Structure 1
Amino acid sequence: MKTVTAISRRNWRPRVGWGVPVAWLTLCAVWSSTWLAIKIGLRDLPPISFVAIRFLIAIIVLLAVSIGRTRLLPLRRNDYAVLAITGVLMFAVNYTLLFWGELHVSSGLAAVLQATIPIFGMIFAHWMLPDEPLRLQKLAGAIIALGGVTLICGRLLGFNGPLAFWGGLGVVFGAASAAYANVLVKARSIQLAPAMLAAWQMIFGIAPLLVLGFAIDGNPARFHWTAMSVFCLLYLAVIGSALTFLLLYWLLPRLTVAQLQSISLITPPGAVMLGWSLGGETFPLSSLLGAAFVLTGIWMIFRKPDKREPFIQEG
């Protein structure tokens, strides 16, 4: 479960074979399914500890495949501070709010609301990255998408109660924190293999969650472990986190930015369909309309702009 944001173009790409479409389709399928796996796992596992244990397992897997293949430590001492800040924002704040939010909203709506990461990333990049100014097309897309979020959250408040509203708002706030983390990492230009960058962020992010989870949720050995909750945990950790990170970074030099970013448009509808077909979730017309606005706005943000289009200047 990872939205593609700031990815730089390469002047060259390795030869594309059958492995590329398989990897791309795998990412679409897995990232469409993680939302339902979270929803099902939350039936037995508390959200804070669920997040912490998921990424603890993912860290172990990433380290196991990285040792002897890439440098494990950042080059600069200051990089640790950036990794700590972004790790807390991405994995402690974002995922805790996401898991807690899914206690109160459907998995499909959570996927749609989390898909706002590129919108917030675009706004933060306007102020933090001089070479990524905010253009009119992207601004229009952001307004449309945020209008969809407003429609969804308004429906949650009016028909599902305050907890559903705050759950949806929490998912959106988590998306904003994840977007800021993504932009900050790009702004600081950390020289570290992507898999290890993610592993270090996970380490800093789950450290407070392990302590907080033990204090609030108690000893994990006493949780209501079932075969399904164990399956969901391992699926999210190994397939939904470690494998998808590795596949994403393998695809980076092999696909265009547009091809990678298209995953962000496919996973929310996929999550909605899986939630409806396998999870028994229902989606009122207003929520589907809001989701359509969100995806339309994201498409406008990703669409290649007209070269003559002006950008927004401050002052």
Structure 2
Amino acid sequence: MPPKTQLDRLAISLMLLFCTLWGLQQVAIKIASTGISPAWQAGLRSIGATVLVFGWARLRGIPLFGRDGTLWPGLLAGLLFAGEFALIFLGLEFTTASRGVIFLYTAPFFVALGAKWLLPNERMRRAQWAGMALAFAGVLALFGENLLRPSGQAWIGDLMLVGAAMLWAATTLTVKATALARTSAEKMLLYQLAVSALVLPMLSLGLGEPGVFAPTAGVWASLAFQTVLVASASYVGWFWLIRHYPATRLSSFSFLTPVLGVLAGGVLLGEALTPAVFAALGLVGAGIWIANRPAAE
């Protein structure tokens, strides 16, 4: 399929599905963390997803080992991916799922900034910058809520999630700006899963984590959700979209995830939905709408 300049119905439908899954992901991480250490949980997730995506690629006859110039950018993307999820899983030990998902989705701003230099063909209109600025104001409003209460440690988790957002953006830009953009979504994802499947368990051992310490049906179900639906199915779809649609438009559309993630945290985990949370959601939602309006004819 030739690259597109706008998001069509297929891309929008897939992004709605993926944003729902990604919004629930932070809740699933929180639930699984009650029985599995964070870095070990992330490692198990990557190991399981590596097996699933590799099996899917082999079943479909997708070439994975040809020399196509993707090795070094693939390894870089894998290290960035591993760092991103280490920060997500560890950061959620300090902050809530509701806050975490909003801070993680500052990634589109970093994609937009990087695209200015690395992706010159994906120029952003003023409306897109304005929409992103509005959404970012919502993130700042939420972060300010914790700055008023410096006695807590939630700000540590908040900053770790912002760091994860930077690494996610760096991964997206690496994919778009290198030979990875010309390979299959499955191979692109396997670089990241396989590298993180090696790095994250070693990180867990280095941190002295206990590993699986309180396994329950809910803990295993949450890990399975992350492994099968998020890290395998949705990420294959996400990287396929990155190959064929503008990264800046896809990233700005994904601001929908914080809305769903915050609601999931409030409904499923009983996390406090403060006025600052709703203000942030309102600004983020308005930013999504402005950034993704079609250009005037």
Q: Distance in 1 between matches of 2:92 and 2:164?
A: 12
Please say if residues 153 and 169 of structure 1, whose CA atoms lie closer than 8 Å, have aligned partners that are also in contact: no
Residue 191 (structure 2) aligns with: 200
Are 1:216 and 2:216 matched, yes or no?
no
Offset of residue 88 of structure 1: 1.3
- Single out whichever of 283-292 and 228-237 deviates more from structure 2: 283-292
Q: 2:4 aligns with which of 5, 9, 31?
A: 9
Q: Which runs of 5+ in 1 are unaligned?
A: 1-6, 308-315
Q: SS of the residue aligned with 2:269?
A: coil
Please say if residues 152 and 291 of structure 1, whose CA atoms lie closer than 8 Å, have aligned partners that are also in contact: no
Q: Distance in 2 between matches of 1:114 and 1:228?
A: 24
Q: Deviations over 1:70-129 (max 9, x none)?
A: 01125334x211111122112x22111111222222212222222222221011000111
Residue 36 (structure 2) aligns with: 45
Q: Distance in 2 between matches of 1:244 and 1:98?
A: 17
Are 1:66 and 2:57 matched, yes or no?
yes
Are 1:166 and 2:166 matched, yes or no?
no
Q: Deviations over 1:266-313 (max 9, x none)?
A: 332222222111211112112321232233334333333347xxxxxx
TM-score by length of 2: 0.85
Offset of residue 241 of structure 1: 1.5
Please say if residues 58 and 242 of structure 1, whose CA atoms lie closer than 8 Å, have aligned partners that are also in contact: yes
Residue 311 (structure 1) aligns with: none
Q: For residues 10 and 138 of structure 1, do their structure 2 counterparts lie closer, same or farther at Cα, with a shift above 3 Å needed? A: closer
Q: For residues 10 and 148 of structure 1, do their structure 2 counterparts lie closer, same or farther at Cα, with a shift above 3 Å needed? A: closer
Q: Aligned-pair RMSD on alpha carbons?
A: 3.2
Q: Distance in 1 between matches of 2:143 and 2:208?
A: 28
Q: Distance in 1 between matches of 2:208 and 2:288?
A: 37
Please say if residues 37 and 209 of structure 2, whose CA atoms lie closer than 8 Å, have aligned partners that are also in contact: no
Q: 1:141 aligns with which of 118, 128, 131?
A: 131
Please say if residues 108 and 275 of structure 1, whose CA atoms lie closer than 8 Å, have aligned partners that are also in contact: yes
Q: Distance in 2 between matches of 1:160 and 1:34?
A: 28
Residue 260 (structure 2) aligns with: 270
Q: Deviations over 1:191-245 (max 9, x none)?
A: 321022111111123322221212323564x532222211111111012221223
Instruction: Spell out the pairing of 1:175-194 with structure 2 (5 A cutoff).
Output: 175-190=165-180, 191-194=182-185
Offset of residue 251 of structure 1: 7.2
- Single out whichever of 292-301 and 111-120 deviates more from structure 2: 292-301
Please say if residues 132 and 287 of structure 2, whose CA atoms lie closer than 8 Å, have aligned partners that are also in contact: yes
Q: For residues 223 and 8 of structure 1, do their structure 2 counterparts lie closer, same or farther at Cα, with a shift above 3 Å needed? A: farther
Are 1:57 and 2:48 matched, yes or no?
yes
Offset of residue 181 of structure 1: 1.4
Q: Which runs of 5+ in 2 are unaligned?
A: none
| Aligned residue pair count | 292
Offset of residue 44 of structure 1: 2.0
Q: For residues 200 and 266 of structure 1, do their structure 2 counterparts lie closer, same or farther at Cα, with a shift above 3 Å needed? A: same
Residue 77 (structure 2) aligns with: 86
TM-score by length of 1: 0.80
Amino acid across the alignment from 1:291: L
Instruction: Spell out the pairing of 1:292-311 with structure 2 (5 A cutoff).
Output: 292-306=282-296
Are 1:232 and 2:239 matched, yes or no?
no
Offset of residue 255 of structure 1: 9.6
Offset of residue 33 of structure 1: 1.6
Q: 2:99 aligns with which of 92, 105, 109?
A: 109
Offset of residue 56 of structure 1: 0.9
Please say if residues 106 and 165 of structure 2, whose CA atoms lie closer than 8 Å, have aligned partners that are also in contact: yes
Amino acid across the alignment from 1:193: S
Q: For residues 64 and 94 of structure 1, do their structure 2 counterparts lie closer, same or farther at Cα, with a shift above 3 Å needed? A: same
Percent sequence identity over matched residues? 23
